Amino acid sequence: MAPDRRIRVMLVEDDAPIRERMAAILRGADALDLVAIAATLEQARELCAVHVPTVLVTDLKLPDGSGLDLIRDVRRLFPAMEIMVVSVLGDERSVLAAIEAGAAGYILKDSTSVDLVGSVLDLVAGLSPISTSIARTIVRRVQGTPPAANEPPPPALTEREIDILWGIAKGFTYGDIAERLGISRNTVMTHIKNIYRKLEVNSRGEAVFAAINHKIISIGG
Amino acid sequence: MAAILSSAGQPAAAPAKKHPADRLWYAVLAVSLSVPVLVALLIFRPVHLPPAVVPLFLQQALLAVPAADGAAPGDTPGWRPVLLPYRCQPADTPKDDSLNRCAATFRIIHRHEVGDEQAGGGQLHSLYIPAFQGSLAVTLNGVALASSLWHQSAVQIYSVVPMLLPLPSPLLHPGDNVIEISLARRQGIVNGFLDRIAIGPDTLLRPEYDRRFFLASTLPRMLDGWQIAMGLSMLVIWLARPKEQIFLAFGGVLLCHALSSAPAILGASANETLLRSAIMARLMAGSFILPISWLLVGQRPWVPLWVFVLLPLGLVSSYLTLPFDLHNRLLSFVIVPLILGMMMTALVVVVRAALTRRDLAATLLAGSAAAAALLAVHDALVVNDLLGENSRLLSVYASVCIMATASAVLIWRFARTMNALDRFGLRMKAEVAAAEEALRLSFAREQAQTRNAILQVERVRLMSDLHDGIAGQLVSILALCELRDSGSDPVALAVRGALADLRLVVASLEDSGDDLGVMLAMFRERIEPQLAALGMRLTWSMAPLPEIAGLHPGATLNIFRILQEAAINAARHSGSPVLAVKAGPSPLPGGGARLTVQDQGHGGVAPRPGSYGLANMRRRAETLGATLTIDSGPGGTTVTLDLPTHLP
């Protein structure tokens, strides 16, 4: 009965100490079931197909390829799987690229055990985190100049979603924004997940990655 | 009529609405209608002579006509009474003698009463002839007094000038005196004419004579001067703006008109050729009336403008080449009717433009044309002696009236054009300034964008390097420490510090758009997990912040490091469970922003040996031009950073 209720998690991380630390944290959590651990892209693909976890926690830089490829494949093959990216710096460049590829959450590599487990649980509950930089970047894309022919059109966000992004970009916390908009903190994070999904629908693989970089470069502020 | 015109010209839906231009037209119409009315009031007003002067005028004289055989007038006893004014009747004179036709002598018997109060005995007496045509010779008691030929220039036989002759007192006997006035026809004059004559004290008659002389002689010369000056001005304007042909044509007309007065100005030295030239100049002026009307009302002529030069050219060449009789016939039967026809056409053009197009210039010109027509009517009445004595011919002023109006219209337009140019110039200046400003801003923006782009490229590269290299390794070291169950040993602490600082460096490189709030938001994201890891809760409050210029990455990193140092120090050493970070406007002079980091710990912050934290904070604050205040006491420690509005 109990094992059925636990969330099936798979970890992909090439750096041995980090992998071991995170594995230890995930394994130690009651609500989670760490079903597989991979150190390379190839290994990750195989294990994913075998175990089909509920949540995939993956690094972006893998010795035999990019984590982005893994994310895209998983989104295509297992659309229901939630993907969380482990970022060293939490910078919008790597995180947004992962979101465009299909990830719905991110966490810093040196997060505390509480944060790491909490993030996985939030993600399964349909809640996604966002940072100021990422919000700002998305807002720029939505309200920036019209995209060129080879760039993806900006996601069609609702007014509420843009309000939330603006709030985050201006330094408000989820709690602040929830209070201002008269909604719950979790609803804010649900909106963020919707925004991520819209970004993903708009994605065109590597071209988007380039486009984001280009956008960051071309829009001065 | 106005209602009909406006409803015809506009859709029926809005007949009540009057265009502002319409209102202007009605005003101009009122002015141009008032001109002929004023002229009429002026010229048809009866002239009241002073009561003392009226009885001096004679109604009657004795007339003698020279016999056909050429006997001297004095010998002819055939004096018969005649009424004055006298107009030569063809029946009075022999028809065969064309040279002496209308030659006549008038005899007046003047009773001179010395001591007569009314006559003002002892005063100078004069003979006053208000108007005559032809030439006069006057004798008093058989002594020749004067001839009008002495004063008359060739052309003044057309205009009617007055004559005032003092009667020398030695010649003037008490009792009856005989005054004889011989009227002779002069070349070009069809009929002789002699107005009523007055004899009386010079003081009474001279003002009346002066008035007449001014109108007959002085005023025309003044107008000549005006025409020359205006004509030359028009030519100068045309020289500067050759495409405005109206200035050439109108200047030419004015100068031709002035030239036609040349015989009158030159006086006795005028000869036949000059007289002919004057007539031709006047005709030339007339031949340009039609093209000028077209140009003035802004209508396209039916024929090219150069066609109108043909007529004056024909006139001159016929005068130079054709026999005199043929030339005269051509003049009378072709050229003059042609010019009259063109003038009538011009009138039609002007009146039509005034009524149908509501052209303002045309309306004014039509008004002055009406005034000119009134002058012509006046002269017709004068010639038929229906206006009584003291009236004189005024049609010489008709063309002047029209030309004055046309000049006024042209000068007005010229000034209006200048105004429009001024406005245009001002607008252009403003627009150029605005465009320059926009360009400058755009250039500055572009430069900023280029700078940002370079910065972002560099940041992306740096981040990529850090991400793949040192940051990953720091996290790895941290993981190793934790795996060995020594997560809080000094190595792990140092690595955490290094990682935190690395993240601050990356954050500082982000473009915050000179927005301190955005910049602080990025700091909050980084400090909050660190404080949480150290067991400290963050409270964050932001008041609206003033704009801080110069938030470049270097300054941003300095602010970040000061706040980071203050926050981490509080977390490690204060013992306070809560850290409050506040941002708001600075109360210090010069404005700026105030950032405070406040704990509720035990205070006692002081420089410790071997620790450079506080010194570093002060140094960074100095670099920023900011004021750093650390207030540490039993109630806690407050670090206050006051930023200037412009960071160096």
Q: What digits encode the pLDDT tens for the residues A35-48?
A: 999 999 999 999 99
Confidence (pLDDT) at B203? 87
- How far is Cα B299 from Cα B291, in angstroms, rounded to an integer? 10
Backbone angles phi, psi at B457, to 5 degrees: -60, -45
Chain A residues inside the 8 Å CB shell of B507? 133
Confidence (pLDDT) at B287? 84
For domain A132-218, give the CATH number: 1.10.10.10
Residue B119 has pLDDT above 70, yes or no: no
Contact of A12 with A70, CB cutoff 8 Å:
yes
Confidence (pLDDT) at B153? 54
Task: State the Cα angle at B524 between A135 and A155, rounded to 5°.
Answer: 5
Look up residue B242 and give its DSSP letter. Answer: T
Pick from A29, A44, A40, A18: nearest CA to A109: A18
Pick from B600, B598, B560: nearest CA to B581: B598
Confidence (pLDDT) at A39? 93
> Which of helix, strand or coil describes residue B599?
strand
Percent of chain A with pLDDT over 70: 83
Please state which of the ranges A197-201, B210-214, B453-457 shows the lowest mean pLDDT: A197-201
Residues 6 or more apart whose CB falls under 8 angstroms from that of B18 comprise B6
- A182 interface with B at CB cutoff 8 Å: no
Contact of B595 with B581, CB cutoff 8 Å:
yes
**H or E, element range at B208:** helix B202-213
Average pLDDT over residues B191-196: 75
Residue B376 — very low, low, confident or very high, per pLDDT cuts 50/70/90?
confident
Q: Which amino acid is present at B622?
A: E
- Tokens at residue A79, please? 């659309």
Residue B185 has pLDDT above 70, yes or no: no
**H or E, element range at A32:** strand A32-38
Contact of B112 with B172, CB cutoff 8 Å:
yes
Q: Which amino acid is present at A143?
A: Q
Contact of B17 with B9, CB cutoff 8 Å:
no
B30-44, B97-111, B179-193: range with highest mean pLDDT: B30-44
| For B511, nearest residue in chain A (alpha carbons) | A221
Q: How far is B533 from chain A (nearest CA, A)?
A: 7
Chain A residues inside the 8 Å CB shell of B547? none
Confidence (pLDDT) at B271? 66
Look up residue B549 and give its DSSP letter. Answer: B
Class of residue B642 by CB neighbours under 10 A (exposed 0-12, middle 13-18, buried 19+): buried
- How far is Cα B105 from Cα B183, in angstroms, rounded to an integer? 6
| For A170, nearest residue in chain B (alpha carbons) | B518
Residue B411 has pLDDT above 70, yes or no: yes
- Which residues between 529 and 558 in chain B have a beta carbon less than 8 angstroms from any beta carbon of chain A? 529, 532-533, 540, 542
- A113 interface with B at CB cutoff 8 Å: no
Residue B260 has pLDDT above 70, yes or no: yes
Tell me the torsion sign for CA atoms B412, B414, B415, B419. positive
Strand B636-643 relative to strand B593-599, pairing:
antiparallel
Residues 6 or more apart whose CB falls under 8 angstroms from that of B92 comprise B63, B65, B102, B104
Q: Which residue has the tokens 């009524």?
A: B355
Backbone angles phi, psi at B385, to 5 degrees: 60, 40
Q: How far is B592 from chain A (nearest CA, A)?
A: 19
Q: Do B540 and A115 count as a contact with CB atoms less than 8 A apart? A: no
Q: Going edge to edge, which strands form the sheet with B132-133? A: B86-87, B193-194, B132-133
- B469 interface with A at CB cutoff 8 Å: no
Average pLDDT over residues B149-166: 67
Residue B280 — very low, low, confident or very high, per pLDDT cuts 50/70/90?
confident
Look up residue B578 and give its DSSP letter. Answer: E
**Higher per-residue confidence, B590 vs A34:** A34
Residues 6 or more apart whose CB falls under 8 angstroms from that of B296 comprise B246, B350, B361, B362, B365, B406, B409, B410
Please state which of the ranges B67-71, B276-280, B496-500 shows the lowest mean pLDDT: B67-71
A132-136, B190-194, B300-304, B471-475: range with highest mean pLDDT: B471-475
Residue A2 has pLDDT above 80, yes or no: no
**Higher per-residue confidence, B98 vs B261:** B261
- Architecture in CATH of A2-124: 3-Layer(aba) Sandwich (3.40)
- How far is Cα B366 from Cα B32, in angstroms, rounded to an integer? 7
Task: Name the pTM for this structure.
Answer: 0.54
Residue A220 has pLDDT above 50, yes or no: no
> Which of helix, strand or coil describes residue A39?
coil
Chain A residues inside the 8 Å CB shell of B467? 61, 87-89, 91, 94
Chain A residues inside the 8 Å CB shell of B529? 108, 111-112, 115
Please state which of the ranges B455-469, B488-502, B627-641 shows the lowest mean pLDDT: B455-469
Task: State the Cα angle at B400 between B415 and B385, rounded to 5°.
Answer: 155
| For B470, nearest residue in chain A (alpha carbons) | A88
How long is chain B? 648
Q: Do A221 and B478 count as a contact with CB atoms less than 8 A apart? A: no
Confidence (pLDDT) at B122? 64
Task: State the Cα angle at B439 between B433 and B444, rounded to 5°.
Answer: 125
Confidence (pLDDT) at B65? 65
- Which residues between 497 and 516 in chain B have a beta carbon less than 8 angstroms from any beta carbon of chain A? 499, 502-503, 506-507, 510-511, 513
Q: Which residue has the tokens 């063109």?
A: B342
Residue A202 has pLDDT above 60, yes or no: no
Please state which of the ranges B327-336, B347-356, B379-388, B530-539 shows the lowest mean pLDDT: B379-388
The boundaries of every CATH 3.30.565.10 domain in chain B are 527-648
Mind spelling out the 3-state secondary structure of B74-140? Answer: HHCCCCEEEECCEECCHHHCCCCCCCCCCCEEEEEEEEECCCCCCCCCCCCEEEEECCEECEEEEEE
- Tokens at residue B15, please? 């007949």
Beta strand spans in B150-229 (E):
163-167, 175-184, 193-194, 197-201
- How far is Cα B58 from Cα B223, in angstroms, rounded to an integer? 34
- A131 interface with B at CB cutoff 8 Å: yes
Write out the CATH class of domain B57-209. Answer: mainly beta
Q: Do A90 and B468 count as a contact with CB atoms less than 8 A apart? A: no
Contact of B577 with B536, CB cutoff 8 Å:
yes
- How far is Cα B593 from Cα B261, in angstroms, rounded to an integer? 88
Backbone angles phi, psi at A202, to 5 degrees: -80, -5
Please state which of the ranges B97-101, B179-183, B306-310, B503-507 shows the lowest mean pLDDT: B97-101
**H or E, element range at B423:** helix B396-468
Over residues B567-604, the pLDDT tens digits come to 988 888 888 899 999 998 988 887 789 999 999 888 77
Look up residue B435 and give its DSSP letter. Answer: H
When CB atoms are compared, the residue of B475, B506, B532 closest to A110 is B475
| B47, B50, B53, B54: CA torsion to nearest 10 | 50
- A89 interface with B at CB cutoff 8 Å: yes
Confidence (pLDDT) at A204? 45
Residue B70 — very low, low, confident or very high, per pLDDT cuts 50/70/90?
very low
Taking CA atoms, B140 is separated from B109, B114, B178, B193, in Å, by: 10, 17, 6, 21
Confidence (pLDDT) at B399? 81
Contact of A103 with A120, CB cutoff 8 Å:
no
Look up residue B156 and give its DSSP letter. Answer: G
DSSP state string for B272-320:
HHHHHHHHHHHHHHHHTHHHHHHHHHT---SS-TTHHHHHHHHHHHHHH
Confidence (pLDDT) at B313? 87
Residue B228 — very low, low, confident or very high, per pLDDT cuts 50/70/90?
very high
- Tokens at residue B631, please? 């207030």
For domain B527-648, give the CATH number: 3.30.565.10
Over residues A51-72, the pLDDT tens digits come to 999 999 999 888 898 889 999 8
Average pLDDT over residues A21-43: 92
Confidence (pLDDT) at B638? 92
Chain B residues inside the 8 Å CB shell of A111? 529
The boundaries of every CATH 1.10.10.10 domain in chain A are 132-218
Chain A residues inside the 8 Å CB shell of B517? 170-171
Contact of B261 with B220, CB cutoff 8 Å:
yes
The boundaries of every CATH 2.60.120.260 domain in chain B are 57-209
When CB atoms are compared, the residue of A17, A109, A221 closest to B483 is A17
Strand A55-59 relative to strand A7-12, pairing:
parallel
Taking CA atoms, B31 is separated from A77, B35, B357, B366, B368, in Å, by: 93, 6, 17, 11, 10
In whole numbers, what is the pLDDT of chain B averaged over residues? 80
Taking CA atoms, B170 is separated from B34, B123, B164, in Å, by: 54, 12, 18
- How far is Cα B396 from Cα B352, in angstroms, rounded to an integer? 26
Contact of A169 with A118, CB cutoff 8 Å:
no
Taking CA atoms, B25 is separated from B3, B28, B113, in Å, by: 14, 5, 64
Average pLDDT over residues B185-202: 72
How long is chain A? 221
DSSP state string for B504-522:
HHHHHHS--TT-HHHHHHH
- A145 interface with B at CB cutoff 8 Å: no
Confidence (pLDDT) at B471? 83
- How far is Cα B522 from Cα B518, in angstroms, rounded to an integer? 6
Q: Which amino acid is present at B419?
A: N
Confidence (pLDDT) at B117? 47
**H or E, element range at B597:** strand B593-599
Confidence (pLDDT) at B1? 35
- Tokens at residue A115, please? 């944060």
Confidence (pLDDT) at A218? 39
Q: Do B518 and A132 count as a contact with CB atoms less than 8 A apart? A: yes
Residues 6 or more apart whose CB falls under 8 angstroms from that of A113 comprise A25, A28, A29
